[in-house]
Amino acid sequence: MTLVLNEEEIWVLECIKESHIDRGFHIRDVIKKAKAGYGLSRSTVYEIVGYLEFHGLIKANKSGNRELDPDIHYFVICPGCGKEVAENEYVKENGRAICEDCYLEGHQKIKFADPVAVRSKKLFRKQHGFEGTEGMTELQKELYDFILTEGGATPEKISKLFELTLQETMNQLAILRHCELLKWRKIGEEMYMVPFDS
Ligand SMILES: [Zn+2]
């Protein structure tokens, strides 16, 4: 049977993961986090925890505490496209769990997965004898150097640090992607831009 969780259930699950320690988790910590982070009431948290217990996602461990059972798998419905997404394949954004496609789609004016753009960019750069970040704008160079130094960064982090709108950041990153200087990588539940060769 496929266990499909809704938005509130995912929120509670996230709070459980954050509250989880070796011995398990305490529902009081989850309630605190769920209230502060998502405005969920105590009774909602209890109700959802009960539901997750019913489906075996939460079980009692040897010490009699509650813990997550990593062997029980679940899905979410992407609010963007309605697709079922496995627990390790969704991306969190503003508390919503969305699929990678919708995440990328929602953030780009310049398409990332654009083979024509990649080819023409490569040709242009080859004709001009550009290598690495040669021929890039100062901003693009700075973004690239930053990601190279950090090993990777989320667009959200980059946009904050460089004081760019998220859309502008995504456009700049798309150009760096077309030049095959950067690529996407999913780390944890977030999408990072990492050096292309990494
Ligand atoms: Zn989607």
The per-residue pLDDT for 36 is: 95
- Residue 97 alpha carbon to ligand 1 centre in Å: 9
The per-residue pLDDT for 171 is: 86
> Most distant CA pair in the chain: distance in Å?
68
User: Kind and range of the H or E element at 186?
Assistant: strand 182-187
**How confident is the model over 95-113, as a mean pLDDT?**
74
- Residue 177 alpha carbon to ligand 1 centre in Å: 22
- What does DSSP say about strands 190-195 and 182-187: parallel, antiparallel, or unpaired? antiparallel
The per-residue pLDDT for 34 is: 96
- Residue 79 alpha carbon to ligand 1 centre in Å: 6
42 has a pLDDT exceeding 80 = yes
- Residue 149 alpha carbon to ligand 1 centre in Å: 31
Structure tokens at 130: 């550009």
- Residue 27 alpha carbon to ligand 1 centre in Å: 31
CA 49 – CA 28 distance, rounded (Å): 12
73 has a pLDDT exceeding 70 = yes
- Residue 3 alpha carbon to ligand 1 centre in Å: 18
Topology annotation, domain 107-195: Arc Repressor Mutant, subunit A (1.10.10)
Which letter does DSSP use for residue 181 in this model? S
Which letter does DSSP use for residue 153 in this model? B
CA 115 – CA 119 distance, rounded (Å): 6
- Residue 60 alpha carbon to ligand 1 centre in Å: 34
The per-residue pLDDT for 165 is: 84
- Residue 62 alpha carbon to ligand 1 centre in Å: 39
CATH of 4-73, one of 3.40.50.2000, 3.30.230.70, 3.40.710.10, 1.10.10.10: 1.10.10.10
Residue intervals in the chain for CATH 1.10.10.10: 4-73, 107-195
The per-residue pLDDT for 113 is: 64
- Residue 169 alpha carbon to ligand 1 centre in Å: 21
β partners of residue 86: 75
